[in-house]
Amino acid sequence: MIVLPDRRVVVPALGITQILAWGSTFYLLGVLSPLIARDTGWSYDLVVSGVSVGLLVAGLAAPRVGHLIARNGGRPVLAGGAILLASGLLGVGLAPNFTCYLAAWAVVGLGMSAGLYDAAFSTLGGIYGSQSRGAITSVTLFGGFASTVCWPLSAALAAQLGWRGACLAYAAIQIGIALPIHLFVLPSQKSAALTAAKAAPRVRLERGEFVVFIVVAAVVTNGAAILSIIGTHLLPILTARGLDLTVAVGLGTIVGPAQVGARFVEMLAERRFHHHPLWTMAASAGLVAIAALMLAFNFPIVALAIALYGAGNGIGSVARGTMPLALFGPDRYPVLMGRLAFPILVAMAVSPFLGGLAFQEGGATWTLGLLAAIALANLALMTALMAMTKRHR
């Protein structure tokens, strides 16, 4: 009998490195961008374009990362991701000009492809196979605290060391904390599933499976687009609706606890009822659509709409990792997660720009209309996906 690695060790280890990976990449410029713009003279939109470059590079590299995890296991890939993140952050902190700044973010993007959720989910799939759903959910509970932990940490580092010193400090954290965790805590994954993946790394989908995969990809990509637009434009939307900035910031903080709370409830529900991840994603799409419509139609209790969005996005992150596992099985999971990561990360890179265009042309009304349209389309896609897969459940 194969003894699986202790989840009480693996899950917290990956959870900690996910907090550090998200906090030093996706959430980094939420604190540092005004300081960078003021110090360098680069415009704010140019500064934040660094994250978009990183996400685009991450999306392009993600399919290859999925194959590497299928062949070699997650430990060396995640360790390599920590090294790449450290190298890129070092480059950002030392960048003498804007060209070097963007080039450094491209290196960060390579690290993101090998270090964020999709790589972590693929690693867990390789370790625990069909039993990895609970582990994936638990890791997302940790990841939900990335902004909560790293925004104050970034502010403290910047206050003491400046924005460049903060980037260098995060590079040191990747080498001093994340890299040893990946190398010495994660298992090597010498499993039968991994051996099979090395022998036959090419993944083929039957025609019916391919159609299902395309719909799954569309659903998770739309979810990523909504996340990125809300994350970038929520505060401007709320202030454009007449709310004071302090009030808007307070409302924005609802998202994090709502995400984590919903993930915790989903984890308890799964343990008790063992429901299919499709139901989790359907609930996510429904909650996000309701929240988008409430915001679009100026529902008076804004806090409720934001809480519903946070809850929907929270369980959507869980389903993004568990739904492909349930639909396509553990053997093909790492490679398929790499393929799914490509449109997800590209959407996260491009959608803030599209949301910004909508906001520039039509203010909060147009931006919220765009969000509602994407959310409703996603709900329709999930309805179709449920119907397509019903006979297989």
Strands (DSSP E) found in the chain: none
d(CA 292, CA 378): 12
d(CA 150, CA 180): 20
Q: Are 258 and 306 in contact (CB under 8 A)?
A: yes
CATH superfamily of 207-392: MFS general substrate transporter like domains (1.20.1250.20)
d(CA 392, CA 276): 11
Structure tokens at 89: 């952050």
- pLDDT value for 87: 98
Positions of the chain with pLDDT under 70: 1-3, 189-202, 273, 391-393
Share of the chain above pLDDT 90, in %: 49
- pLDDT value for 200: 45
- pLDDT value for 193: 45
Q: 0.85 cut: is pTM over it? A: no
**To 10 degrees, what angle do helices 117-128 and 7-23 make?**
170
pLDDT tens track for 296-345: 998 888 999 999 999 999 999 889 888 998 899 888 888 898 899 899 98
| Burial class of residue 150, CB neighbours in 10 A (0-12, 13-18, 19+) | buried
d(CA 217, CA 341): 9
Q: Are 265 and 313 in contact (CB under 8 A)?
A: no
Q: Are 224 and 118 in contact (CB under 8 A)?
A: no
Q: Are 20 and 173 in contact (CB under 8 A)?
A: yes
Q: Kindly list the domain boundaries of the chain, sorted by start residue.
A: 7-199, 207-392
Q: Do domains 7-199 and 207-392 have the same CATH topology?
A: yes
DSSP conformation letters of 370-383:
HHHHHHHHHHHHHH
Q: Which of 224, 243, 184, 196 is nearest to 351 (CA)?
A: 224
d(CA 182, CA 177): 9
| Burial class of residue 4, CB neighbours in 10 A (0-12, 13-18, 19+) | middle
Amino acid at 142: F
d(CA 108, CA 122): 20
Q: Look up the CATH number of domain 7-199.
A: 1.20.1250.20
